Amino acid sequence: MGLVLATMVAIAVVAFALVDGLPWAAAFTLGAIVSPTDLLAATTTARRLGVLRRLVMLLEGESLVNDATALVTGGLPNLCRRGQKSGQPPWGYSAVGSCSVT
């Protein structure tokens, strides 16, 4: 879960810096979309390597937690964008205020 959040923030910061006019909410939504790992790739690789079934099940469960984290965090920027001013970081006062009101 921590790596998903860190990847989401890193992608959001890079996207905001590289794309002119991209709002913070869109940058964080993009980060949430691309940050979780691919369940099918991890499971297929583990089975091909002959990893124990119990460990494969743990990988599948961890991937579900990553997907849930991405779904929840992907929706939060859209809730916060109403109070956000252009160019202001999403952790600014207006974003926090709009999240608590919404």
- 3-55 pLDDT, tens digit each: 888 888 899 899 999 999 988 888 888 888 888 777 888 888 888 999 899 99
In angstroms, the first-to-last Cα distance of the chain is 25
- 70-85 pLDDT, tens digit each: 777 777 766 665 555 5
The structure's pTM equals 0.62
Q: What is the reported pLDDT for 78?
A: 63
Q: If we measure between CA atoms, which residue out of 39, 32, 37, 42 comes closest to residue 5?
A: 32
CA distance 11 to 49: 31
